[in-house]
Structure 1
Amino acid sequence: MKILPSLFSPAGKNSKLSIVIYHRVLPEPDLLTGEGGIAQFEKGLSYLTNNFNILPLSEAVNKLRSGTLPGRAACITFDDGYADNAEIALPILQKHGVTATFFIASGFLDGGRMWNDTVIESVRRAKGDKLDLNAIGLGNHAIATLEQRRETLNLLINKLKYLPHEARASQVDKLSTIIAADLPDNLMMISAQVRQLHDAGMEIGGHTLTHPILASIDDAAARTEIAEGKAKLEAIIDTPLRLFAYPNGKPGKDYLSAHVKMIKDAGFEAAVSTAWGAARQDSDMFQLPRFTPWDQSEWRYVLRMVRNMRQRIQTV
């Protein structure tokens, strides 16, 4: 099956770089969120290693720039900094002999929790068949079945995601107070796990301090988020950070051209978005696209990767 990706991703100046994005690897699939488990991750990883040449992202970027990228080049990335990245994903990556890049929102290390996880875990643990959030303008929801909880969760996430940073934080606090569930504080990595990834040869990248949508905050706050997120990780691993991932990552919606300049000014050498596509030598190295196929058969997985190589890349 390597022939097909080789046709669309040859070596050299006409090469294309496919960057795959993950967030979590759970012991078992999460039926509420749809996040995959170990079996799904291992299957996708085997499809990648069978059909693509997996490179560390920093090496791939340098080779892409110089026109020396091997054919069928691909990279693996993880966003946010979940503890299962170190506990579960790392041993699997080591078993397959591949390097991944972990983009970590450093403000949540050592016991923090991202706003979306507060919503997810609150909805998961909410008691009863109804969830009344009318007091905070978020409606009344049926949660008697798994499907109803899933629909409620998606609706709440979509309503909250693009609120201004402080307004969203306030709403999430009120939501968690109303539901009053006992929420986990071990979802994100501790600093020692970041060092563990680094010591194992994995790459660590910046992802801001508290994962704001950069386009929703003022420029001064954005610069602080970028700089402080970078500095905290550099202090943990005692190594300069070279790579960055935009939170949420949609060009023109989640980050703007001003934020691309901020990333360059902060000393990063490349950055990734969540726009689909595969990068070429003439691509903007500070807006590299990423994509992950969801197919369960190897043939369909590879075919979707190839189709993604032909995707027009969106940038700002």
Structure 2
Amino acid sequence: MSNLLIYKRTKKYIRLKYTIAWYVGILFFFILYFSGIVPVYIFFRKKYLKQYLTFVLMYHRIDNVKTDRDITVSIKNFENQMKYLRQNYDVISLDTLLSRHKQNHIKQIDEIAVTFDDGFKDNFTNAFPILRKYDIPASIFVATNFIDKNEGLSREDIFLMKKRNIAFGSHTRTHNVLSETDKNSALEEIRGSKKILEEILQDDVRYFAYPYGKRELDFNDDSMRIVKEAGYSAAFSTNNGCITNNSDIFALERLGVRDFPMFVFKVRISGIFENKWIHILWKYLGV
């Protein structure tokens, strides 16, 4: 059997496995939502367990053109999500979130913060008007080499949004995998991007997001040490979960948002997957 044929069959198998996992996942969310399990769980968590959660959401692109399907949320879905957040959560900035985290703030309502990675132009053209409409603070982590490029934010976009309740953080210069980058290059990626953004914003850049963002896979202890030494106050990963008192301030968890149906979004930020038994079942299903 030729290598090309093996490759094609392997690719077909992976695509089939992904498709099956997708539909199993959607079915699982459907059952959780429409069975009434989720609202009962939320009521029990808040009323009897007195547990209130803190989530950071991670977006990339907001557009109706699905060029990058895995990282793009439609404009309509994004607006519905922001409306839901405004009505049901304490939507806060990263500054507020991290200040409360440092002080071990006692929550009275679930908290949520909104972030974007990479710095795509549609963050300004499509997301920004919706964020303003619902008075949602947000932070955008920018890979600075893409500023003023075709699909990237311009300097003018960044400066205008900064004046309108949008904060900015660094996402390196070229979006390299830091765990695969030598020390000197990593220093330039992390420090250089901070310097460029601070020149544009005329303000301190305090937060960093790791490209790709899986701990030990895409960044490691050396990466975290460089980020800390570069003068950042906190850094964000793409590891799923809510932020707790045990979270590492230089590897904070986030939830990636995709273009799922609204009921999936509601289930995902309900906190039900922070329950140990639901989490085990989710992993067992392999979705």
Q: Is 1:74 matched up with 2:118?
A: no
Deviations 1:29-75 (A, max 9, x none): 41662522211111222222222111001210110121215320010
Q: Is 1:205 matched up with 2:243?
A: no
Find the counterpart in structure 1 of residue 66 from structure 2: 30
Counterpart pick for 2:132 among 85, 91, 94? 94
Aligned-partner Cα distance in 2 for 1:217–1:200? 35
Aligned-partner Cα distance in 1 for 2:39–2:162? 31
Aligned-partner Cα distance in 2 for 1:100–1:14? 24
Aligned-pair CA distance for 1:301: 2.6
Q: Is 1:41 matched up with 2:6?
A: no
Q: Do 2:211 and 2:218's aligned partners in 1 also have CA atoms closer than 8 Å?
A: yes
Aligned-partner Cα distance in 2 for 1:30–1:192? 26
Aligned-partner Cα distance in 2 for 1:32–1:290? 20
Counterpart pick for 2:235 among 242, 260, 271? 271
Deviations 1:68-97 (A, max 9, x none): 153200100000011111111111000001
Deviations 1:187-219 (A, max 9, x none): 101111111111112110011111100011101
Aligned-partner Cα distance in 2 for 1:212–1:9? 41
Counterpart pick for 2:53 among 13, 16, 22? 16
Q: Do 2:194 and 2:205's aligned partners in 1 also have CA atoms closer than 8 Å?
A: yes
Of all paired residues, the percent bearing the same amino acid is 28
Q: Do 2:61 and 2:123's aligned partners in 1 also have CA atoms closer than 8 Å?
A: yes
Q: How does 1:57-206 map to 2 (within 5 A)?
A: 57-68=94-105, 70=107, 71-111=109-149, 186-206=150-170
Aligned-partner Cα distance in 2 for 1:262–1:30? 35
Which blocks of at least 5 consecutive residues in structure 2 are unaligned? 1-37, 280-287
Aligned-partner Cα distance in 2 for 1:228–1:75? 26
Aligned-partner Cα distance in 2 for 1:39–1:54? 19
Q: Secondary structure at the match of 1:205?
A: strand
Computed over aligned residues only, the root mean square deviation of the Cα atoms, in angstroms, reads: 2.3
Q: Do 1:15 and 1:281's aligned partners in 2 also have CA atoms closer than 8 Å?
A: no
Q: Secondary structure at the match of 1:21?
A: strand
Q: Do 1:243 and 1:269's aligned partners in 2 also have CA atoms closer than 8 Å?
A: yes
Find the counterpart in structure 2 of residue 222 from structure 1: 186
Aligned-partner Cα distance in 1 for 2:106–2:94? 11
Which blocks of at least 5 consecutive residues in structure 1 are unaligned? 112-185
Amino acid at match of 1:38: I
Deviations 1:91-111 (A, max 9, x none): 100000110000000111112
Find the counterpart in structure 2 of residue 159 from structure 1: none
Alpha-carbon distance change, 276 to 21 in structure 1, aligned in 2, over 3 angstroms: same
Amino acid at match of 2:98: V
Aligned-partner Cα distance in 2 for 1:16–1:41? 22
Deviations 1:11-33 (A, max 9, x none): xx96531010000111x241662
Q: Secondary structure at the match of 1:277?
A: coil
TM-score, normalised relative to structure 2? 0.75
Aligned-pair CA distance for 1:308: 3.8
Q: Do 1:9 and 1:16's aligned partners in 2 also have CA atoms closer than 8 Å?
A: no
Aligned-partner Cα distance in 2 for 1:230–1:55? 23
Aligned-pair CA distance for 1:283: 1.3
Alpha-carbon distance change, 86 to 297 in structure 1, aligned in 2, over 3 angstroms: closer
Q: How does 1:250-261 map to 2 (within 5 A)?
A: 250-261=214-225
Q: Do 2:62 and 2:127's aligned partners in 1 also have CA atoms closer than 8 Å?
A: yes
Q: Which runs of 4+ in 1 moved over 4 A?
A: 1-10
TM-score, normalised relative to structure 1? 0.69
Q: How does 1:223-242 map to 2 (within 5 A)?
A: 223-242=187-206
Q: Secondary structure at the match of 2:168?
A: strand
